Amino acid sequence: MQKTINSTEFRKMVATGARMLEINRAKVDALNVFPVPDGDTGTNMSLTLQSAVKEMNACTSNRFQEICDAVSKGALKGARGNSGVISSQIFRGICSVIKDTKDAFDTKTFAKAMEAGTKVAYGAVSIPKEGTILTVVRLMSESAGKLASKHKDFTDFLKALIEVGDDALAKTPELLPVLKKAGVVDSGGVGLMHIMRGFLAAISGEDLGEIPTEAAAETKKSDEDLFGDNSDIINLDLGDIEFAYCTEFFVINLKQMTTLADIDRLKEKLMQIGDSVICIGDLELIKVHVHTNTPGRALSYALELGELDRIKIENMLEENRALKAKLEAEKKEMGMLAICAGTGLEEIFKDLMCDRVIEGGQTMNPSAQDIADAVQKINASNVFVFPNNSNVILAAEQAKDLVTNRTIHVIPTKNVPQGFAAALAFNPEASVPENKTNMTHAIDNVASGQVTYAVRNTTMNGFKLKEGDIIGLDNKRILAKGDDIAETTLKLIKALKREEHEMITLYYGEGVTEEDAEALAAKVGEEFSDCDVDFHFGGQPVYYYMVSLE
């Protein structure tokens, strides 16, 4: 019988919970409400937990305080998608209780931790929706206290708690009609139960085996070369520069007694007085580079081997001051960050004067840390963030806690066309509140939809779908079905069209040629002669077309 969990065992619980989730990631991804190829709940939750484990593993202390702080910080930094953000908050609440443990915690303490996890998770969502991961964690936490009184042994306690969670999960379709129509349970709740089973496996000593080779991949970052900056230096406090002088020189005309072993010893001496050491060469020429606070000692060591040539010593503290002063002088009041997937869409955002674009969207939600890092690299006091996906908005809100010297303003764009409208509404002469208001109003005037294909047989929104059907949908429901991409896109536009709309824009994605898009635009123009019609290359994955009506 195991009545308590010490810090080493808690580490194993977190790591095994993350491992169990990663093993079952693809299964969780497949539990998508809409039968479209963009399920990402499992991936989002797994990447969030992997970030927590990475931060935990980097923690050298084995005190609960430091371990819990690392898990909370790592989960927040890695949080992506609504499910990932909520998972991070559940862990944050759990850790807020366990961190006060001195030697080991019992089932009653873990029950309190579950209650705290539920409270923090609910607080992170402006309008909590039942029938989701929130319901599953709440019902487990409500039973945890009674179960802890009944079960002192952790294995028995977790088994009972998992049984409650499974029952709660089975009820989610009754609480959320969209799940019932799709014939699935909540994917976030399934992910949470895999984590709980990982906890149990850690305590019971179950061997999970190897993680599948198709592991969750980190979200691809934007090409840094497109945004040449010195952000690593910009954001470095002067006090963080441990070694102030960048020292470079050559050693020439080496003394006759100098050996190759002497060159190795020189490198060892340089490493003792600084970092970023380069000491390479032979008995003809040695190249030296070192960051140090005592450049004179570096020169003296080298003089023992030969003569010095082309000496360069730069004060990195002064360089940092000058760079920061320049950036402060050039700092603007407002900047914009957009999130999207597709090279064409990215180029359009840049043309609309977005300072930075990071890759993300369905199947590849950026984490809160990804968004914060991108914001930090924009030289502006206020940064408007366009998530362009309902599953990214919460992560963007969480990024506010991860930035310094910047204020994030999240414009709740749920799709790329709304993001374009928000960017178009930006006025550099207006104030921050005025821009925020104008951008928010602008997205209300955009109707948008996407065209993709069904990945399973199902009945939804009045359509009987079979795998492979072409479907058109907005953010909430399926609006069109067909066997042909162009035909289904026309049906979707017809369902979205309102009398006040004057402009229809098509953004064609991967697998669609320019000729096909041009032909479809012509058909749309004939069908809707009261509107101007345009088309652009989007390059987005998953969706053949994104449609915007304004």
Among candidate residues 433, 425, 379, the one with its CA nearest the CA of residue 405: 379
Among candidate residues 331, 330, 354, 336, the one with its CA nearest the CA of residue 409: 336
- Cα three-residue angle 515-516-519, rounded to 5 degrees: 85
> Under a CB-based contact definition with an 8 Å cutoff, are residues 369 and 402 in contact?
yes
Amino acid present at 11: R
> Under a CB-based contact definition with an 8 Å cutoff, are residues 15 and 202 in contact?
yes
Q: How far apart are CA 280 and CA 248, in angstroms?
A: 12
Residue-level pLDDT at 494: 93
Amino acid present at 212: P
Among candidate residues 366, 416, 409, the one with its CA nearest the CA of residue 81: 366
Residue-level pLDDT at 33: 54
Note if the pTM is more than 0.75: no
The number of helix segments (H) and strand segments (E) in the chain equals 21, 18
Q: 233-320 and 331-444: same fold?
A: no
Which positions ≥6 away from 288 have C-beta within 8 Å? 247, 248, 249, 250, 251, 266, 270, 278, 279, 298, 302
Would you say domain 331-444 falls under CATH 3.40.50.11540? Answer: no
CATH class of 233-320: alpha beta
Q: How far apart are CA 371 and CA 164, in angstroms?
A: 36
Structure-token pair, residue 308: 């010095």
CATH class of 447-549: alpha beta
First to last CA, the chain: 65
Structure-token pair, residue 519: 């032909």
Q: How far apart are CA 263 and CA 283, in angstroms?
A: 9
Alpha-carbon distance values, 499 to 154, 441, 477, 494, 503 (Å): 63, 19, 21, 11, 11
Q: Do strands 332-340 and 307-315 pair parallel, antiparallel, or not at all (unpaired)?
A: unpaired
Residue-level pLDDT at 155: 94
Residue-level pLDDT at 170: 87
Alpha-carbon distance values, 464 to 33, 176, 478, 481 (Å): 15, 20, 11, 9
CATH superfamily placement of domain 5-204: DhaL domain (1.25.40.340)
Among candidate residues 453, 224, 264, the one with its CA nearest the CA of residue 358: 224
What tens-digit pLDDT sequence spans the chain (550 residues)? 889 999 999 999 999 999 999 998 888 887 765 555 546 788 889 999 999 999 999 998 999 999 999 999 898 888 887 788 889 999 999 999 999 999 999 999 999 999 999 999 888 776 778 888 899 999 999 999 999 999 999 999 999 999 999 999 888 878 876 666 656 678 889 999 999 999 999 998 887 765 443 333 333 333 233 223 333 333 434 445 688 898 989 999 999 999 999 999 999 999 999 988 888 778 888 888 898 999 999 999 999 999 999 898 988 888 777 767 777 777 899 999 999 989 899 999 999 999 999 987 656 788 899 999 999 989 899 999 999 998 899 999 999 999 988 999 999 999 999 999 999 999 999 999 999 999 999 998 899 999 999 888 888 888 888 988 999 998 788 999 999 999 999 999 999 999 899 999 999 998 899 999 999 999 999 999 999 999 999 999 889 999 999 9
Q: How far apart are CA 354 and CA 28, in angstroms?
A: 34
Residue ranges of the domains in the chain? 5-204, 233-320, 331-444, 447-549
Alpha-carbon distance values, 473 to 29, 389, 479, 496 (Å): 19, 14, 5, 9
Q: How far apart are CA 523 and CA 281, in angstroms?
A: 69
Calculated CA dihedral for residues 32, 36, 42, 48, nearest 10 degrees: -120
